[in-house]
Amino acid sequence: MPRYSEDDIIARIFAPIAGAAALGLKDDAALLAPQSAPLVLTTDMVVAGVHFFADDAPALIAKKALRVNLSDLAAKGAEPIGFLLALALPADWTNDWLEAFAAGLAEDARVYGAPLIGGDTGATPGPLTISITALGRALRFVPRSGAKPGDDIYVSGPIGDAALGLAVRRDPALAEHLSEETRAYLIGRYLLPQPRLDLTGWLAANASAAMDISDGLAGDLAKLCRASGVSAIVDLPSVPLSGAAREAIAIDPALFETAITGGDDYEILIACGRGAAPPAPACRIGEIVAGSAPPSFLDAQEKPVFFKKLSFQHF
């Protein structure tokens, strides 16, 4: 069977999974009704060889591409409305690959209430590239810039699993020393982030500042502090680690730095006033303090710990 044409891709692959605002993907734009709450927009791009492996399952690639955007919405206290998809396909794509990709996208669109409302497709001589723009509504937008001295710092869940999952995929020697269950868990956390949309209501009502942890806890906290004009003190022993992460770090203690500075957690970093603790499994890891210095990271003896780099950076 010949590969689908561009018109086929729109009509056969994406139109069936599109929401009403997409107008059947028969127009050049979507049409949204006026929103009763502020509109929040975010966009993230994922590229083969940078954010995922080219031979990953297409359904998982699609889900990761959508979920990293939903994570940004969650951190702003926003519920999803829908998303736009721009897809640049390399020369070796197949109909089967595209159908599996669309099936994964459709499943998550249903689960998270975020229908496809438009986009574009094209060819690229480079790697597979996926750009998604997600739209949401928020009763209150939670900025990065609202943290205040005296605020507590929380993270919404375990840190470092995805970065360690990537390390396992890249290092066969490390993988061999881990249990099968641990390998599967860490790799799964890398492949399939879990956007914390369950926290949107709490964040909108209580958070001073928040952002999702996409590039590493240490570096993303530094970004939040710069935006807010404050500093922070983090108690490293309080940073929550999964049992799988602890197993990997026990084998190679240097992986603790990977966990704290690596990307792809997609948990939420939260600053909030005292007495406004978010629901479990969120964990307090430090406090916001006055000043403009970079955040301080302290060990169990309250001695400062310094990292080679604070976070993943593209450039």
**What digits encode the pLDDT tens for the residues 31-55?**
998 888 999 999 999 999 999 999 9
pLDDT digits (tens, 9 = 90+) for 44-90: 999 999 999 999 999 999 999 999 999 999 999 999 999 999 999 99
Q: Does residue 314 have a pLDDT over 60?
A: no
What proportion of the chain, given as a percentage, has pLDDT over 90? 94
CATH class of 152-298: alpha beta
Residue with tokens 């690959």, as numbered in its chain:
97
Q: Does residue 313 have a pLDDT over 70?
A: no
CATH of domain 6-138: 3.30.1330.10
The confidence band for 274, taking pLDDT boundaries of 50, 70 and 90, is very high
pLDDT at site 215: 94
Query: Rg of the chain over CA atoms, in angstroms?
Result: 20
Mean pLDDT score of the chain, rounded to an integer?
Answer: 96
β 116-123/78-89 pair status: parallel
The full set of domain ranges for the chain reads 6-138, 152-298
Answering whether pTM is above 0.85, one says yes
Q: What is the mean pLDDT of the segment spanning 255-271?
A: 96
Q: Does residue 315 have a pLDDT over 60?
A: no
Q: Find, among 175, 155, 94, 176, the residue nearest to 128 by Cα.
A: 94
Cα distance between residue 191 and residue 201, in whole Å: 26
pLDDT at site 309: 80
Which CA distances in Å does 167 have to 66, 131, 194, 315?
A: 23, 25, 19, 20
The confidence band for 311, taking pLDDT boundaries of 50, 70 and 90, is low
CA terminus-to-terminus distance, the chain: 42
pLDDT digits (tens, 9 = 90+) for 188-228: 999 999 999 999 999 999 999 999 999 999 999 999 999 99
The confidence band for 11, taking pLDDT boundaries of 50, 70 and 90, is very high
Name residues whose C-beta falls within 8 Å of residue 191's C-beta, 6 or more positions apart in sequence.
52, 56, 60, 64, 165
Helix axes 161-170, 243-251, angle to 10 degrees: 50
Q: Find, among 243, 264, 247, 267, the residue nearest to 255 by Cα.
A: 247
DSSP string, 214-266: SS-HHHHHHHHHHHHT-EEEEEGGGS---HHHHHHHHH-TTHHHHHHH-S---
Which range (1-5, 110-114, 160-164, 182-186) has the least confidence?
1-5
